[in-house]
Amino acid sequence: MADRQVTQQNILALLGKLDDPDADLRYMSLNDLFGILTSPGSAFLAQEQRTATKLAEGLLKALDDQHGDVQNQALKCLGPLSVRLSFESLTPLLGKLTDLTASQTIDTSVPNTALRVIVDTLPHPQSGQPAQQNAITAYSAVSKVLIPRLTGPTPSASGRRGSVVRGMLEKDPSKGFSSDAIDVLIKVVTCFGPLLQESELAALQGPVMGIIHNDTAGTVVTKRALTAISALVLHFSEHQLNSFVASLTETLSSPNISTVHRRHLIAAIGAIARSAPAKFGPHLNTLTPFVFAAVGEDGVAQAN
């Protein structure tokens, strides 16, 4: 008990130094916090919500530090903190980070990176093994907070009637689509894919394919969307995969499809075939005629 009190006092003292004007001191305080969070002595945070909340608030503030080294050290601390948090403490942390991804005043790559760090660090199911309870709890937090914000829109935390927050994967009128948000989705699917419900897979598929279908999406964001749909397809049920292929076929059959749109869909077919050959292979006979037809057309050949 005495050791716990000492650790708690050390944490609070270090958090107080995060407001110091000396960037080196702020960095060293975060470095010391990282040492505490990675030690067995910080396990009590799962039952000490007040201290855990103060820690999360301090790290969130440090993410907006003007010094990159301080920001990076705060990001480093979020991983070990997340595995110390209870469900009740983890969900608001995820919620606040997702809110920051919609900010118009900060570099939104930072909260997106923080989300990837947390998702990657949380316990997740191992291939071929039943999911452990800690992985199920972590998935529950991601399912409750992060997946709805990826797919969006969601009610605003401001509480104003009818106010909503744009989904992380939706197109920002001034910034366009976010490749950082797609990377968060890829991390979620990579880590928690076996636990994702069919409704969640469908909800995530929608905005990803919306980017692939969008002729104005940039090259970088389109490539990330291709990686994302390849990851999602690995976890589709047979019914879901059949519906997905039927939708591809219908779109590729349209006489009004643009060259860019068709190129994106053919790229999607190639990406999925590489990532899930056994799963996607039976559907290639349906889709390859569209690929071969496009190869012989000068417009698509030149576009590639």
Q: Give the Å distances, CA to CA, from 8 to 32, 52, 53, 216, 264.
A: 13, 10, 12, 52, 53
**Residue 1 pLDDT > 60:** no
For 146-211, list the strands marked E by DSSP: 154-155, 164-165
Quick check: is 231 in a domain?
no
Q: Is the pTM of this model over 0.85?
A: yes
Task: Clarify whether residues 66 and 95 are in a common domain.
Answer: no
Tokens for 90? 């983890």
Express each pLDDT in 56-106 by its tens digit: 999 999 999 999 999 999 999 999 999 999 999 999 999 999 999 988 777
DSSP H or E stretch at residue 200: helix 198-213
> How many structural domains are present in the chain?
3
15 vs 172, higher pLDDT: 15
Q: What is the CATH number of the domain that holds 57?
A: 1.25.10
**Residue 227 pLDDT > 60:** yes
Nearest to 224 by CA among 179, 163, 266: 179
**Residue 157 pLDDT > 70:** no
Task: Clarify whether residues 181 and 91 are in a common domain.
Answer: yes
Tokens for 151? 């797919």
Quick check: is 226 in a domain?
no
Task: Clarify whether residues 95 and 172 are in a common domain.
Answer: yes
Task: Clarify whether residues 98 and 66 are in a common domain.
Answer: no
Quick check: is 135 in a domain?
yes
The partner residues of 176 in beta bridges, in order of sequence, read: 172
Cβ pair 254, 215 in contact under 8 A: no
Domain extent at residue 150: 87-102+109-124+131-155+164-211
Instruction: Grade residue 152 by pLDDT with cuts at 50, 70 and 90.
Output: confident
Quick check: is 219 in a domain?
no
Task: Clarify whether residues 146 and 245 are in a common domain.
Answer: no
Task: Clarify whether residues 118 and 63 are in a common domain.
Answer: no
Task: Clarify whether residues 62 and 96 are in a common domain.
Answer: no
Task: Clarify whether residues 98 and 197 are in a common domain.
Answer: yes
Quick check: is 139 in a domain?
yes
Q: What is the mean pLDDT of the chain?
A: 91
Task: Clarify whether residues 96 and 194 are in a common domain.
Answer: yes
Task: Clarify whether residues 32 and 141 are in a common domain.
Answer: no
Instruction: Report helix, strand and coil shares of the chain as percent, to nearest 5.
Output: 75, 0, 25
Nearest to 226 by CA among 213, 212, 214: 212
Task: Clarify whether residues 244 and 266 are in a common domain.
Answer: yes
Instruction: Grade residue 161 by pLDDT with cuts at 50, 70 and 90.
Output: low
Task: Clarify whether residues 39 and 72 are in a common domain.
Answer: yes
Rounded to an integer, what distance in angstroms lies between the CA atom of residue 47 and that of residue 163? 34
The partner residues of 164 in beta bridges, in order of sequence, read: 155
Quick check: is 229 in a domain?
no
Looking at the chain, the whole-number percentage of residues with pLDDT higher than 70 is 93
Quick check: is 282 in a domain?
yes
